[in-house]
Each structure stands twice: as structure tokens, then as C-alpha cells.
Structure 1
Amino acid sequence: MDANAPLAATAPPGIPHRTPADLTTLAAYARHLNADIVGFQEVATPEIAAHIFPPDRYTLYITHDPVLQRTGVALRRGLQVVTHPDLTALNVTGQNAPHPLRSGLDLTVVHGATTLRLLVVHLKTGCWDNPPTEKAHACPLLLQQFLVLQNWISERQKNGEAFVILGDFNRRMTQHDPFFQVLGKAGTLKLATAGFASPCAGGSYFIDHVLVGGAALGWLQPNSLRTMLYTPDEQAVVSDHCPVSVHLQLPD
């Protein structure tokens, strides 16, 4: 990355620098994943994401945040989509902060007569499993973001929408986690990663999650949670996260 490039100052220190060969390797992993919907984080532009998710197979959407690393989604070609305004309320620090927090990417996938509302997130880092009473910098901000998500979920419940929230929550959530319980106040939810350890993180709890609500609770296929690992001798600069997936069976 050019340190003098626009928005370079919004990037955290130590971000990876990938070569075309690294992107080719990541694209091979994406082909192996073979998912219909892929939420992703820390991508600057759709043009860069297109190296991983080629336009002949995927349509790409990305937030409009004025930051270098944004949140997006790749949707398999043929899926109909209704886009919604970015969930900018997740930036609880404000746009003038040195490192503004990211918006959520909000859209609806249309499958025949069935709709699925999606929200892709990348939340504040640093409050991995601390209590909500923690006064350190990260936890109060993360709690504010969870309250924003609670409001978003309440709207989905009020409108009778099937929905999924997916992405990097930067929180080792379980069903008993008080942060997850904040979300549960808005309605019945299923945390697909609850009760499982991540093979990508040395056996610790997941921080990347898939959270399901509304009619989608009945579409989540039991025991479908998967984590795709990179090869042990991988030399390419890939990602510090492994893809986490579930299978939803939408009605025809």
C-alpha cells in the first residue's frame, strides 16, 4: 500500500501487502469454498475483491465508508438483490475519529418468493471476552455497537423478516455471553458457532460468527458449520481468518 494514497491514514498499522500471486492463491481457496454468499472484511475496493471473486461468478457489494478497509459481500451470479443504506450507526466513534469504525453492509437476497436480509459486520477489536462492565477503551465501544445491532434485529423482527448477521464480531461469543444476550433481548436468535472451538484459532472460541433469526431459524441446517483451513505449508499471504460457513436451505 502507498503510504501517501488516499485514506491510507485510516488503515491500522502492519496491514499485509499482497502480490498478484497471493491474490491468485486466495482465489483458489474461494473456488474451493464454492459458497453462494460470502461476507468479507478489510477490502479497499470491489476491483480488488474481484481478483478473489471473479465477476463471471459473483456480484460484489461493498460499503461506502471513507476508510481503506471496508466490509463487503460476494453473491453468486443470478441471485436477486435489494440493497439498503449502510448501517453507519455501527461507527460509534464518528467519521472524524482517527480510525473510524466500519459500517455494516445491509442487503436483501431474493430467492423466488423468499427473502433473506443480510448484514455483514466488522466490529471493534479488543474486547474478546471481557465483561460488559469493563471500562477499557474497546469494551464500551463494542457494547454500543451491540446495542445498534439489537435495534437492527428489533426492526427485522417487527417486519417479520428472515435475517442473518455474519462477519467478524471480534468477540468470543457463546450463548451465555452477556454481549450475545444483549442481542437476544430483540428476539430469538441462533448463534451457529456457539459451543464450538475454531480449528483456525488453536482451539479457542470463534470470533467470526453467523447469527440467524426470524424464519431463517428453520432454514439453518443442523451440523452444517464448517471451517475451511489453509494448507499447513502455505507460502502465500492469505488471511489471518479462515472462512466459516453454514448451510441455509431456503424455501423454493
Structure 2
Amino acid sequence: MSRLPRPFVFPLMLLFGGGCLSAGTAHATTLRLSTWNLDWLTTRPAGDRALPDDVHPRDGTDIARLARYAARLHPDIAALEEVDTPELATRLFPAPGYRILISGDDVVQKTALAVRAGLIVTRHPDVRALDVYPPDAPRHLRSGLDVTVGDGRASLRVLVVHLKAGCRDGGPDDRRPACRTLYRQVAALTDWIMERQDEGEPFAIMGDFNHMLGPGDVMLPMLSENGPLLAPTVGVASPCWGGAYFIDHIVLGDQARQWLRPDSLRVMLYREDDPALQSRLSDHCPVSVGLDMP
């Protein structure tokens, strides 16, 4: 297992407030992109066969608390992970303000996207190549949710991912089964990136990579083999629940690299400091950046 340097904890507090979809210049739209793993957001009853024994289904109070944080987050485009149903996502990002898209996976931990009303949305087939398990496997991995979002002048191809857990700092030679699985997913991601770069599409890969793209790590260079990528989370640590290298990332490619607003990386922290509330909120905090889309 590789050993990463001690992370620098990025001093980020609650995310910027106020409106988000705005005219940055006469011909630019400022977008706030966020990614948020909602930690088994489901209302299935305890004991459901699809849930691990240590998962606590959410009740109405939990969902209302998360919805208050979602309102404060106020993104234009939010990648969501570990969401069971579109109805639950809608309770956090309600219509008519948002449109919800969700992957077609037959799993509890689906990937989803909340897109602010007024943006143009085109959905593409789910990237099922990220489920690298065989068809007869007892469990399956999450596919990627693939969507193009635009404002009528420019557009951004967005892929929402939730990669295999258990290999936060391992490389492709790590013999752990989780690492072997993760790097098979990296190969599938590289193919998707190559297609975007060949087509000249600005793109963002957002979600839970379950991997720390820290200094010396090989995953981002592997993904960048067909062209440069930009990940603002590399080399710093999130202040969420004590601080560690980010595993939730927003990776930008093609022209989207130039759209990133400098110093716009933000993490929304929870006001509750009771560890018992972590399972009622999430073990991940929302991560956001700002883009100036021409």
C-alpha cells in the first residue's frame, strides 16, 4: 500500500450563500457544481434484505434536516451518490426548482443528478461499463450517470460516479480485491474520457471516487493519459468530520479546465457536532466548485 504525505487541511467552512445561476460576464454563465454522497439515503425499513445490518434508514426528521442543508448548498448542478429513489432526491431538491435524474441500476446506492430549472438537459445511456462485475454476480457496482447540461450557448458533459470502496490509496499493483476492481473501473473511465476528448466536449466527472488523489498517487495520471485533467481537490484535505484527503472529487477536462473559478473550491460542513448524528446526516460533506461557462 502506498503512503501519502500528511495532507494539508483546506480551511473551508460553510459554502457561499446567495444565488448561484448568474451572468458572470455579458456572455458567461456562472455555475456552481456540487457533489454529495448522502450515505445510504433510503427509507426502506431496517432489516430489508437490500440493506447492511449497520445501515439506519432515514425518517422524516432526517430528510428535513438534509433538505435544509441542500437549500443552503443551492447548487446549479449537484451530483448525488447513494440515493435509493428519485422521490427521495426530490425531497432535498424539490420541483419546480430542480429536475432529478437517477441511474437505472438495480441497487440501493444509485447515482443521481439534481439540475436547476432553466438549464437544458440531455440524458445519455448510463455508463454500465463501470459495473465490472460479471452478470451473475450476487451484487453489482454502480453505473455512471451521463448527462449533458447547457444554457443554450455552451454545454458541459457531466458523469456522476461512485467507484468501488476499499482502495483509498492503493495503486494498480495492489493485490487487494477492491483495488483490482477499482482499477478495472479506471480503465472504463479512461475510455469515456478519451471519447469526450476526441469529440472536443468540455466535461466534468463528479462523485465519490473512494480514492485519495493525493501527491504521488497514480490514478489521476492514468485518467489523464489522453489529455490533461484538473482536479481542485488534489493535495489538500477536506475539513469534513475531522479532515483527510478528499475522496469526493470534481475532475474537469477539455475546455472546462479553463472555466474553473480560481479558489472556488468549497466544502459545506454540518453544524451538528454530535458523532451520533453522522449516521443521520452523512459521512460525506458536499464539495463544490464554481465554473464560468462562456
Q: Secondary structure at the match of 1:141?
A: helix
2-side partners of 1:100 and 1:198: how far apart? 29
- More displaced stretch, 221-230 vs 91-100: 91-100
1-side partners of 2:71 and 2:285: how far apart? 14
1:78-227 superposed matches below 5 A: 78-174=118-214, 176-227=216-267
AA in 2 matched with 1:86: D
TM-score under structure 1 length normalisation: 0.94
* Equivalences, count: 248
- More displaced stretch, 214-223 vs 199-208: 199-208
Q: What is the Cα-based RMSD across aligned positions, in Å? A: 1.6
1-side partners of 2:170 and 2:258: how far apart? 32
> Which structure has greater strand proportion?
2
2-side partners of 1:104 and 1:146: how far apart? 12
Which structure has more RCO (C-alpha within 8 Å, separation ≥ 6)?
Answer: 2
Superposition deviation, residue 196 in structure 1: 1.2
Superposition deviation, residue 175 in structure 1: 5.4
- In structure 1, runs of 5+ residues without a counterpart are none
2-side partners of 1:208 and 1:219: how far apart? 20
> In the superposition, relative to structure 1, how do residues 137 and 22 fare at CA in structure 2: closer, same or farther (>3 Å)?
same
TM-score under structure 2 length normalisation: 0.81
Task: Give 2:39's aligned residue.
Answer: none
Superposition deviation, residue 179 in structure 1: 1.4
> In the superposition, relative to structure 1, how do residues 93 and 13 fare at CA in structure 2: closer, same or farther (>3 Å)?
farther
Task: Give 1:46's aligned residue.
Answer: 86
1:55-74 superposed matches below 5 A: 55-74=95-114
1-side partners of 2:150 and 2:135: how far apart? 32
Deviating above 3 A after TM superposition, structure 1's stretches of 4 or more consecutive aligned residues are: 2-5, 232-236
AA in 2 matched with 1:108: T
% same residue: 47
Superposition deviation, residue 12 in structure 1: 4.1
Superposition deviation, residue 117 in structure 1: 0.1
Q: Secondary structure at the match of 2:222?
A: helix
AA in 1 matched with 2:102: I
Task: Give 2:288's aligned residue.
Answer: 245
Q: What whole-Å deviation, never above 9, does each CA across 1:96-141 have from its counterpart, x for those lacking one?
A: 3222000000010021221100000000000010122011110010
> In the superposition, relative to structure 1, how do residues 211 and 13 fare at CA in structure 2: closer, same or farther (>3 Å)?
farther
Q: What whole-Å deviation, never above 9, does each CA across 1:45-90 have from its counterpart, x for those lacking one?
A: 1011111111121100000011122000100011111100000000
Superposition deviation, residue 150 in structure 1: 0.5
